[in-house]
Structure 1
């Protein structure tokens, strides 16, 4: 019992640490002035990969939801582990992309990294819509990480009531983040190099 409680504390600390480190590392890599220099044509493919991974995450999350509603716990777990794997894949690719190239600006028609008044006028309200969706996507993607990790922890440690309670919030937020990830990609796609 004592060893189990100590193990639980280790896992809980890991969840907190990961939840704090992910946004800090991502922010550092995006805003750090020096890039890794991995830029090449292959890096330009990563935003499309991100949209694909987010689309697959939507599908696996929906399939997991349907599976658990039908009482198929084994299939539910399979789809949830697939969703988690896709989330990790997305995060690694996202960090690689943003640590290699400058972020694309919505409305930057001449691809110079700056928005002129003319470009801002042409973008109009679509830029505001994009920024609102992007802001909600980023904020919720940061907030959902610890909840996803706790949901997995509770499921794996057979704390099913706690798992059920946390996924009532976590599932729709994770689904929203995945869907808006795809929307954000298609909105900004015209401004990629």
Structure 2
């Protein structure tokens, strides 16, 4: 049985899909830039700590949101999740600015820690791209009152988003000696 999109979905779904393609591609292109443009004159060392704080705060808010949902405090759940979304959006904007402004810093560790670091980093990067549409669709369904659809997708969104937030902090910890 084929479902038809609501009028609202006819606008929102293509926008979410477009953002889900454009955002990861933009980050990829910026990472591959041959030259950096530090147009804000921000020191490279400022970004990693700020990003770790945003990711750590997002992880805490996600846990709070999960807790509030489990005790049926839906208004608190909604508010905490909206804040987590905005922190993630701030992170994304800041991350893009940092990629434009600063050369990448290589990881110089070796041995088993190197393997652990690259496993965490690669899974973090892959899931960061996947999380964009999941978060956008989950937020959209929740804010439009489509709670059944929201709950269905949130079962996937929450653990992936939480993993991405936590591994963002772990990447910072691994890289701390090299900043």
Give the match for residue 34 of structure 2: 33
> What is the TM-score of this pair, normalised by structure 1?
0.86
Give the match for residue 23 of structure 2: 22
Contact residue 144 and residue 173 of structure 1 kept, 8 A: yes
Give the match for residue 91 of structure 2: 90
User: Gaps (5+ residues) in structure 1?
Assistant: 108-121
Higher relative contact order (CA 8 A, sep 6+): 2
For 1:1-193, list aligned pairs within 5 A. Answer: 5-38=6-39, 40=41, 42-107=43-108, 123-192=110-179
CA distance in 2, matches of 1:129, 1:5: 45
CA distance in 2, matches of 1:88, 1:41: 19
Q: 32-41 or 142-151: which moved more? A: 32-41
Q: CA deviation at 1:72?
A: 0.7
Q: Deviations over 1:26-76 (max 9, x none)?
A: 111110112113374533211100000001001110111111111111100
SS of 2:43's equivalent in the other structure is helix
CA distance in 1, matches of 2:110, 2:18: 39
CA distance in 1, matches of 2:28, 2:144: 32
CA distance in 2, matches of 1:95, 1:37: 12
Q: 41-50 or 155-164: which moved more? A: 41-50
Regions of 4+ moved over 4 Å: none
> Based on CA coordinates, which of the two structures has the bigger radius of gyration?
1
Cα RMSD after superposing both structures = 1.4
SS of 1:38's equivalent in the other structure is coil
Q: CA deviation at 1:144?
A: 1.1
Q: CA deviation at 1:180?
A: 0.5
Equivalent residue pairs, number: 175
User: Gaps (5+ residues) in structure 2?
Assistant: none
> What is the TM-score of this pair, normalised by structure 2?
0.93
